[in-house]
Chains A and B, each alone.
Chain A
Amino acid sequence: MVQDEQWATDLAAIEEQALQALAKISDESDLQAWRTLHLGRSSAVMQTFTRLGQAPKEQRPALGQAANRVKQALESALALREQALGQAELERSLSSERLDVTLPGRQPHLGRLHIATQTLREIYRVFAEMGFQVYRSREVETDAFNFELLNIPAYHPARDMWDTFHTTTPGVVLRTHTSPGQIHAMREFAPEPVRVILPGMCYRYEQSSVRHEIQFNQVEVLAVGRGITFGDLKGTLQEFARRLFGQNVRTRLRPSYFPFTEPSAEMDVECFVCGGAGCQICKGSGWLEILGCGMVHPLVLQNGGYDPAVYSGFAAGMGPERMTILRYRIEDIRNFWGNDVRFLEQF
């Protein structure tokens, strides 16, 4: 029994000594040394197992159990210590990898559509949902398509409304509006009903300035059918304005004149900058003029191949750049085709 107690005392001392040594360890290599010293083949605990054979037979199970308990205790203490040390090491290394998150990131090159394209697409989208398809036609036109077939005879005062670039080929002009496309579209589609929008570049003989350009996009809208009324014109264009400028925007139609439509009108939307109170953008009027429109003139219908006694239609024309200018408060229309990247990259 005395011998028993001696073994037990020895094991307790071995455990205590090893745990004390473990608590002092703070790095990985010391931990390995400790493992060799206290759990290796020649360690005190393991030696206890070796010497187990020398103990009296009836004492061996108790002794074995006791040694095993100490061995397990040391092993789990080691595991805990290892984990703690690993955690501490991770924290040390993470804290040394702290970035200045305010430094700029690496940006991929962002491609962009020209702002004119963006506006055109918005217009296409709204009209597409109402069944209007894009129809394009040529930019160098005959006088006949640009004027005469649109009820604008030579020398007519209405020609003053368009300052025209003529080419050196007599009777050939740069189109002053996309309206010639009305005739092209009608002649292509007659006698089917027509719902098209006609986008494209137009030209005016005009000194370019902050407000005027020699080249500009226009989008024309044309609907021809058997029962199209002025009320339809009003409704369709109102829907368009609401989609583009906001569901609550007020619009008004004001009598106007175009040779190829009658009755003719201009559509104003309530100024979205001042809400109608009057500001610099709307020049104090509270309204922004966004498009001209009207019922297709019977002679134009006829020139397009439709019998005005059976068919009617409406047309509208708008300037996407003007709309863009109003929307983004762009000060100089020459920015559009000037292509300064400092302008282009804003959109």
Chain B
Amino acid sequence: MKIPLSWLKDYIDVNLPLPHLAHELTMCGLEVDEVELVGLPAPQDDGHGFKFTGITWQRDKFVVAEVREVMPHPNADRLVLCRLFDGTEELVVLTGAPNLYPYKDRGALAQPLKVAYAREGAQLYDGHQPGQVLTTLKRTKIRGVESFSMVCSEKELGISEEHEGVIILDPDAPTGMPLVDYMGDAVFEISILPNMIRNACVVGVARELAAQLDMPLKKSAPKLAWDGPSIEGQVYLQISDPELNPRFVLGLLRGVTPGASPYWVQRRLRLAGMRPISNVVDATNYAMLALGEPLHAFDYDVLVKRAGGKPPTIITRTAKPGEKLTTLDDVERDLNDHTILVCDGAGALSLAGVMGGLESEVTPETRNVLLEGASWNFINIRRTSGEQRLLSEASYRFSRGIHPALAQEGVELCLGYMAAWSGGEIAAGLVDAYPNPPPDAEVELSAAEVRRGLGIQLTADEMATLLRRLEFTCTVQGESVFVKTPPHRLDIGSGLTGKADLLEELARLYGYDNIPATRLGDELPPQRGNPLQEKEELLRDMLVRLGLQETVTYRLTSPEREARLLAVADAPYVRLANPIAAERTVMRRSLLASTLEVIEKNNRLRERLAIFEIGPVFLPQPDTELPVEQQRLTIALTGLRLPQAWDQRPQGALDFYDMKGILEALFTGLHVERVGYQPLEHPVFHPGKCAAVQVGEQPAGVLGELHPQVKARYDFGNHPVLAAELDLGVILGAVPFRYDAVAVPAYPPALEDLAVIVPEETTAQQVAEVIRQGGGKLLVDLQLFDIYRGAQIGAGKKSLAYKLTYQAQDHTLKEDEVRQARNRIIRRLEQALGASLRA
């Protein structure tokens, strides 16, 4: 919402510096995004911040001047020469403004034209460049005539984009007055909160400001003559659904002369962001911007004609099946059965509260105006505006709730402006149907409630004094105030909600700044922490320590993207009803698919990639409306184990055992025990390079090298891609709350090597298990350090070489003990696995 300062001053005598004023507005809840200067000098920084843009009209360079004669240019048809008086001297000024052509060759003008005149050295916007480009007026020669100053357009002064002609000021503009004193302005760009639609108007903003500053709100409305013949019998009114249309008010103005509005009206409309159209239409817009009530003007004679020459009847009703209406924007609209319309006996006239119809709109030929002010159910208007994709100044306001009292106020205000600007006489009286006034609830608020909610001490009298500033009606009884809402707002509820609403009003009036900041003194809840989340963070830390980079990807993906990995197209998905992009239509089922996309994106950027992600997948369930959100962990590796450096050739690609090593280190670090790895056939992975991970008896996920066919569906490099996807719930569930430390042995260990030859099919895990069994308690560590295959041991066999560490906690081992353990191990290996010792 754009609020010009000059307009605001119609309602409040405020003279604060602009940044201070912007601050006060912001602290009322009217957040000022920006202040645009339109003539006024740039303010000093007073510590309030705020963004200032726009233009300043130098006092000595811009003045009100009068054009006394418009003369043709000797060498150019499209230029004219103005004999102009700037208050001190008479000059000849060159201009190309088409709106001065009609005055050409008329000799001295009987009534001089008042203009905005810029002298040499004036800084203004270049009218010939798009946007706002500052330039300085310099002396030049145009077609042989010297030019050093100009008559300005709105664009040059920063009032609007209008550059078709020069501004012609109102006749009472005082010649010679600095332009900034005559019409220098500043426009506050204010964000209107959804519950503050009452402030989407100048009066609303002024009212909040007056309350904030504890200043009076001035009345500013033209006096109404009501001097025409009565409206009675000229128009009839029929409301069919008071729920949807609580009030409807009509006024009649006869004998208007459509034409241009006074310049000051046009300027204010432009500054507020609207285009001036004609004095009749401008009056409706001006009254709406002033008061917040959207108004609509009908050509009364068109309605009479539609009614067959009789007084028309205005009917409000919902649309009939198949009914259509062509709105002001010349679009024929299909109407829904809940769309509320303003009609007459002949059919629909306008989309109520949203936009008028084309047929009955006012035109330059209009002589008699029927003016509508109404109140509509905001939810209904919101639906219609949404369905029709039609946002208008009217629907913006009505869809957020405008008080029905404003229907009458708005019509009266508008009639006053319209009569003043376009002539005509106001028919005595209004036609007013008000079948559904809003509830007039009274809310009780006690001093104790204020203390409890806001932490401030106010007496009931002090509360009443504050609330009255916003025009609440307050009755004090003991420690409580009984509060009635003023008839311009619908945002104060009743009961509990009403109390909260009033607390907010009190907080605003008291000033958020003035409420003392305190620290929580309330009882502390039981401190349970969040063990699962803490374990998850521990897991993250562990993975980072292992040198992995965390990633966080989009949860929204498409089945096609996931099909690259899973090759299943018909898996159930959480699907979006309104996706915003074709590549993000469902919630992911696979975290690995997301992670692999990260590898794909980065594999040309780095020789080695090692990443992980922790996040949910979304698995729809047949019997519940909400999906299961399962936390997963994925890890992906690819590239060189040791990238090339200045002293080393690149070495070996990362492979299955790098991934497995990460998992092993991770489980060790987390103290997760009983982790097993079993060969697994899985469509995503290489059949010989894939393992299922088990924690205890529970399946915990899978690791492996991507299947070459899966890999080929991505844009990966040449190196294998290793991936693991694990169920976070299972892993975190196995992280112990505590564990025992093991004493550092006081006696020396005994070390020895052992190489065993086993059949090729025997797994390392089998061998290790047997060695452990044989070694018993004395065997504390077992490291595989070599695997040999070759002629020395024969085909179909392999030799596994281990370093064994024997250790007793309470004595130095004797040779005998170690020998016995070793013999047990060898015997078991022979018996269980058919192994033999390698000599």
Chain A contacts to B: CB under 8 angstroms: 103-104, 106, 108-114, 116-117, 121, 130-131, 133-136, 138-142, 155-158, 160-161, 165-169, 171-172, 174, 189, 192-195, 201, 203, 205-207, 214-215, 223, 225-232, 234-236, 238-239, 252-257, 262-265, 276-278, 282-287, 295, 297-299, 302, 308, 312, 336-342, 344-345
Contact = CB atoms under 8 A, between A and B. Distances in A.
A234 B519 CA distance: 8
Given A111-B543, A254-B27, A138 B519 contact: no
Contacts of A103: 646
Contacts of A229: 451-455, 518
A264 B521 CA distance: 21
Residue from the set B383, B399, B552, B580 with the largest chain A CB neighbour count within 10 Å: B552
Interface stretch (B412-420, B502-510, B750-758, B816-824): B502-510
Please list the 6 inter-chain residue pairs (A to B) with the smallest Cβ-Cβ separation, ordered nearest first: A286-B49, A229-B455, A231-B455, A284-B51, A255-B29, A109-B547
Given A155-B383, A263-B507, A295 B52 contact: no
Interface stretch (B116-124, B222-230, B527-535, B714-722): B527-535
A8 to B, nearest CB: 61
Interface stretch (B126-134, B327-335, B621-629): B621-629
Interface in B494-530: 496-497, 499-501, 503-504, 507-508, 512-513, 515-530
B515 A254 contact: no
5 contacts: A111-B547, A139-B629, A142-B625, A229-B453, A263-B507
B551 A131 contact: no
A156 B530 contact: no
B50 A235 contact: no
Interface of B: 26-29, 31, 34, 45, 47-52, 193-196, 378-379, 382-383, 399-401, 451-456, 496-497, 499-501, 503-504, 507-508, 512-513, 515-530, 533, 537, 540, 543-556, 574-580, 584, 587, 598, 601-602, 605-606, 608-610, 616, 618, 625-627, 629, 645-646
Contacts of A206: 580
Nearest to B528: A133
B453 A230 contact: yes
Given A117-B552, A194-B525, A215-B554, A205 B193 contact: no
Contacts of A165: 576, 578-580
A195 B525 contact: yes
Contacts of A167: 574-577
B529 A253 contact: no
A93 B165 CA distance: 92
Contact of B500 (A139, A140, A297): A297
A259 to B, nearest CB: 8
Given A131-B525, A134-B533, A341-B602, A231 B629 contact: no
Contacts of B618: 139-140
Contacts of B52: 284
Contact of B512 (A114, A121, A265, A339): A265
B550 A193 contact: no
A54 to B, nearest CB: 60
Nearest to A223: B520
B577 A166 contact: yes
B629 A140 contact: yes
Nearest to B579: A165
B229 to A, nearest CB: 42
Given A169-B625, A230-B515, A256-B193, A287 B520 contact: no
Given A231-B518, A254-B512, A295-B453, A339 B523 contact: no
Given A112-B549, A117-B550, A140 B626 contact: yes
Nearest to A121: B537
Contact of B521 (A157, A158, A227, A339): A227
Given A161-B194, A284-B52, A232 B575 contact: no
Contact of A232 (B499, B519, B555, B609): B519
A345 B551 CA distance: 11
A337 B626 contact: no
A284 B646 CA distance: 49
A298 B606 contact: no
B452 A312 contact: yes
A276 B503 contact: no
Nearest to B587: A140
Contact of B540 (A113, A223, A278, A341): A113
Residue from the set A133, A207, A299, A339 with the largest chain B CB neighbour count within 10 Å: A339
Contact of B555 (A113, A139, A344): A139
Nearest to A166: B577
B194 A168 contact: no
B525 A255 contact: no
Contacts of A215: 554-556
A235 B520 contact: yes
Given A257-B196, A298-B496, A114 B518 contact: no
Given A134-B533, A160-B194, A286-B50, 19 more contacts: A111-B546, A113-B544, A114-B551, A136-B530, A169-B625, A205-B578, A230-B507, A232-B455, A255-B29, A257-B195, A263-B500, A264-B504, A278-B51, A283-B51, A284-B34, A285-B51, A336-B552, A339-B551, A341-B549
